[in-house]
Amino acid sequence: MLAITEWELQRILLDIHDGPVQHMYAALSQLDLLETALERSSSTDPEVLLRKDRIRTLLEDGLAEVRSFIGASRAPEFEHRPLRQLLDELLLQHEHLTDTRIALQADDDLPAADLPVRIALYRILQEALSNAYRHGGASRVEVSLRAVKDAPHPRLRLEIVDNGAGFDTTNAPGESHFGLRGMRDRVEMVGGAFALASTPGEGTCVRVEVDIL
């Protein structure tokens, strides 16, 4: 199921790239023509020029945000790469884009995880990092990936702890606002357990445990 969901995500990303993104590029091209026409007509109406500049800023900012989303969401060849390698690359990418300091602790002898588990843990870590940066303003994140030693079946534990603003979990915005529902759903799809702890001013901790399928 998760592999199918990931395929659907990639199809949606392609549709966004071939549809709305191209329309935004076309709108910027039309705006270039409008600016040229205004220059030729020597129009100096400050209100017109201000609105024109605002339109360009909105289009360029929107395009940059959509392209960033597409780039971050592209599938990193889940089928052919081990979990540790996938997560290492994601952490390096996040550090580069956000200047967030990330400390990773991982067992050297992690058991191999099947495709659905690799997809789920990658996307959960990706969402948790995004939340820590965008909503929590975190400057440091600690990530640990461990094998659960006392579990009856081979099991992995992923924990993400940030030093961000935190929030009151009893009075938080809808789960969809922070992508929490998506994280919970991904864990449920692989039969795992999801836990969230957060306190205003003290950061947030996301913990996931999954059996290795």
pLDDT digits (tens, 9 = 90+) for 98-126: 899 999 999 988 888 888 888 889 889 98
What is the number of residues in the chain? 213
Instruction: Compute the distance between CA of residue 187 and CA of residue 211 in angstroms, rounded to an integer.
Output: 10
Higher pLDDT, 26 or 208: 208
Count helices and strands in the chain by DSSP H and E runs:
6, 5
- Same-domain pairing of 53 and 140: no
The predicted pLDDT at position 202 comes to 93
- Domain end point (choices 73, 91, 122): 73
Residues 202 and 162 in one domain: yes
Instruction: Kindly report the pTM of this predicted structure.
Output: 0.68
Q: How close are the terminal C-alpha atoms of the chain, in Å? A: 13
Residue 126's domain is classified under what CATH number?
3.30.565.10
Whether residues 117 and 163 share a domain: the answer is yes
- Tracing tokens 């030093």 back to the chain, one arrives at 163
pLDDT of residue 207: 97
Both 109 and 153 in one domain: the answer is yes
Residue 72 pLDDT more than 70? no
For residue 175, the one-letter residue type is E
- SS3 sequence, 100-147? CEEEEEECCCCCCCCHHHHHHHHHHHHHHHHHHHHCCCCCEEEEEEEE
In this predicted model, what pLDDT tens digit does every residue of 9-51 receive, in sequence order? 666 766 776 678 788 888 888 888 888 888 888 767 788 888 8
Both 100 and 160 in a single domain?
yes
Number of domains in the chain: 2
CA separation for the pair 51, 92 (Å, rounded): 39
Structural domain boundaries enclosing 48: 2-73
Q: Which residues of 152-173 are buried (b: 16+ CB within 10 A; e: fewer)?
A: eeebbbbbbbbbbbbbeeeeee
Residue, of 156 and 80, whose pLDDT is higher: 156
Whether residues 144 and 207 fall in one domain: yes
Q: Which amino acid is at 213?
A: L
Q: Which of 73, 101, 123 is the last residue of a domain?
A: 73
Tokens 């339109």 sit on residue: 55
Query: Is residue 83 helix, strand or coil?
Result: helix
Neighbours of 177 (CB within 10 A): 11
What are the CA-CA distances from residue 27 to residues 38, 59, 77 (Å)?
16, 8, 33
The DSSP element (H or E) to which 180 belongs, if any, is: helix 180-189
